[in-house]
Structure formats: structure tokens, C-alpha cells
Chains A and B, each alone.
Chain A
Amino acid sequence: MSIDVHQHLWTPSFVDALRARATPPYLDGWTLILDGEPPYEVNPADHAARDTTGLELALVSLSSPLGIESLPPEEAWPLIDAYHEGALELPEPFGAWAATCHSEIDPDRLAADLDRGFHGLQIPATAAPDDRLLEVLTARDLPLFVHPGPAAAEQDRPGWWPALVPYVQQMHAAWHHFRAVVRPRHPRLRVCFALLAGLAPLHSERLIARGGGRGRVDPDLFVETSSYGPRAIDAIIRELGIDVVVNGSDAPYATAFQDGPGIGPAAAHAIRVTNPRRLLCGDASSAPSPPPARRAAAATFSRMGREE
């Protein structure tokens, strides 16, 4: 059984909260309206029943590119609360990353939310990782997940542009910021970077050439594989070793890596089972336990995608 640390699933409570808004980000039916971007037609089926065959745990997270976490607190919290409520009601094998408001930091509220049964905190790569939030995580021995944030709208760009340019650049910046600035302040924090940290670790020769040390691998900085396949994963393994690479799919927008030449069964097992366990629990021998406060509510899940 595998672990997938990166999925998105818009629950009815979250969809309702987006529809309750009249300013971006909001939903008009299933049309997503974001600031400065053309309307985006959400496919309801993407957030309906999802195949979780073979997964012992699938972690969902807030769609950080919507920019919810940077809204003023009175606008951010209703959306975040609705996300939390829906995520906690998802049936097994789902679990979730908590989200928090970054325009006004509230560590006590994060602590209370985490204690409801989240596996850690997700922040947008565009947000400054506030020490007070990170201290809440380390006090609970829970990890941080860094995910792309909003991308500035640009004219005449193909649809894949944000995923290939702004998101990659955001993850690059976050990777280097954590290694250089955050790690010395939070030596025990476990962090996972989405999309293989935008392949930032492959720039180690350039980093070394500019006086950045000798590229020592930090065993508690993990990278997640979504959207990438055997070539990029293999290149990352050459740079960081196998032990920090964890499986993620970014469902419904992308898929997890597939077995094939280059990544053998033991490497795949490390990426899908051993390494995610160490990210989530700090110890590869423990299976991530179901969050204590979660309520089983399969009925809620079966309603999803039928909002129209």
C-alpha cells in the first residue's frame, strides 16, 4: 500500500464557501473566477469519486494557487474553515494538510486546527514561512508541505505556462530559502516541497560554484514527485539520494509516477512507502495513524460532484 502526499479535492463545504463569495476567488456554478485571469471551467467530475486503489493514505490540501491564504483574515478564514471541515469528513484513505491565513498570523488557531487531526501544514511557496507557525509544527512533530501559490496572470501564454514557469520558480525560491534561512532557525522541522522543488536541487553545482557549501544532503528536506517521471526522479535521486523522495500525484491535475525502467521495485517502495512515512511520522517504521479527530462520513463524499 502506498502513500500519496499531494492531492486536491474540493468538498461540498469548500465549494459552497467559494460560491458564497462575490469577489475573486469565487465560483459561479463551476466557473472559477480568479483575479486577472480568464474564467476557468472546473470539471465537477475531478472532485467527485476518485480511485484510491492501492493507497493507504492520500493527503488532500487546499488549492494554494487560488490565493486564499493571503486574503484578509475575515475573508480567508471562512474559506479555510470550510476546507478544513470538508477535508476532515473525507473517508479513508484520505487525510489532509491543514491550511492557515498568512495575512495575519494566528499560531493558536493553527495549533487548534492541527489538533483536529491534520497530518501537517501546507503553505504557499509565495508566503513567508513565519517562525511562529513553524514552531507550532515542530512542537507537534508534524511536517510542512510547500506548494505553489498564485501565479501572476500573463497575456498570450499557453495554459501550461503557470505550471512550467511561475510554479517552478516559486519552488526554486522556496527550496533555497528553506535551506539557507529557515533550516538554521528550525533544525528539526521536516519539510516537503511539491513538484521536486521545481528541480532546484539539480542546481547544486551552480550553488557550490557561488559559495553555497558542498551540497550536503539534508535528510529532513523532502521532495514530492507530482507531474514528473523516471528521468527527473532519477536525476533528483542522483543529487539527493533516494531517502528524501516521496510520492505525490497532484490529482486531479496530474498523476503519480509510473513503474518502469530506471526505478526498480526497491526504489519505488522507498518513494511510495518508506520515505512518506518518515516525512509524516519522523520514523519510517510507523504507519501514519488516522488522525484522532476525524469523523468518518462516506456519505458526504458520495455527494461530491453533484452540486449542480
Chain B
Amino acid sequence: MSTNLPARTLDRRELRDLVDDLAANPAQWQDQVAFPADGGRHYASLYRDAYVDVWLLCWRPEDDTGWHDHDISSGAVHVVQGGLLECNPRIGGEHLETVVAEGQSFHFGPDHIHRLTGAVDRSVSIHAYSPPLWRLGQYSIDDTGLMRRVSVSYADELRPIDETPASGVMEEVA
């Protein structure tokens, strides 16, 4: 990966430029794409330094991050294959849903709360975060609209915390 990046925290638009550039250079990540036959979720850390953290994630329709924020990090996501469904919570209302199609990207600041699922089987996305991911907020919203937050390490499984976890499988997450 190019390291002609500024030696400082990147803002969301710089992160978008970064994932867009990477998406245009499949040689830098194509070999990391995998959908394991044993059914586990697949992800790969493409790069991490003091300022930025870059991941490749592979998605099946059942992969669901649950509601989460990224603490102090901004982020950007480029869908390089298939499509992702991004949802944003609306307490007491209808959640916002956006399908991000192949070739599109989106970006967000640390105030962003969302939930990502694979909209299409065998979807692939590239994610960049700055500062590098450290802690995340994980949310549940119950039937009455009551929202709760737990702080988790970025390494902890991102999954819906208001539902039964899938067979105790450990997953790292972006």
C-alpha cells in the first residue's frame, strides 16, 4: 500500500480517497478475498500504522455487525464486489437503510452509528479508519426503543447484541 499519506489523523474525505484508490488497484488486495468453505467470516488486515488502519471484509448475507460506533475514529468503505446494506438507527422510528452497490463508497465521522450487512452473497468491501480502530461502542435497541451501549475492544465480535450470538464463533471485525 502506498504510504504517501500525511503523517497525521486522516479526515473522512481523505479516507474515502484512500479506499477509492485501493479499490482501483485490486493487485493490492485481491489475494485476500476468500469465502471459507467452513462458513466462518473472513476479513484481512491490509495495513496498520500509527494513523490509519485498512481492512478487507468479505460478506455473506448472514453477516451482521449489529449497531455500532467507532469511538474516536472516522471511516470510509468502498464496496468492490456485490453490495452492502447500511442502516442507521432512528429511535422510535423507521431505521434508515441504504444499499451501497459495487463501485460505490461512503464515509463517516466518529459521531456515526450504523449497522452493516451483506446485501448480496459474496460481497467484498475495503474499510479505512483513522485513528486506527481501538475501541467500539456496540448498541442494542429493544422493542420499546430503549438503546443501550457497551464498550468493546475493536477485536471483539461485532454482532447484534440484542440477539443470540451465532454458535459462539469468535470473529474479529471492522
Interface residues of A (CB under 8 A from B): 204-205, 208, 214-217, 219, 234, 237-243, 262-267, 269-270
Contacts and interface: CB of A to CB of B under 8 A. Distances in A.
B3 A241 contact: no
Contacts of B49: 214-217
A147 B170 CA distance: 31
Contacts of A263: 153
Tier of interface size on chain B: 20 to 34
Interface of B: 3, 5, 7, 45, 47-51, 53, 132, 134-135, 151-157, 170-173
A294 to B, nearest CB: 30
Contacts of A216: 3, 47-50
30 contacts: A204-B50, A205-B50, A214-B5, A214-B50, A215-B51, A216-B48, A216-B49, A219-B45, A237-B134, A237-B155, A238-B132, A238-B134, A239-B50, A241-B45, A241-B48, A241-B132, A242-B153, A242-B155, A262-B151, A264-B157, A265-B156, A265-B157, A265-B170, A266-B153, A266-B155, A266-B170, A266-B172, A267-B153, A269-B170, A270-B155
A239 B133 CA distance: 10
A239 to B, nearest CB: 8
Q: Is the interface of A mostly helix, strand, loop or mixed?
A: helix
A262 B16 CA distance: 30
B111 to A, nearest CB: 20
Contacts of A205: 50
B28 to A, nearest CB: 15
Contacts of A241: 45, 48, 53, 132
A264 B156 contact: yes
Contact of A237 (B45, B151, B153, B173): B153
Given A265-B170, A266-B170, A208 B156 contact: no
Contacts of A239: 50
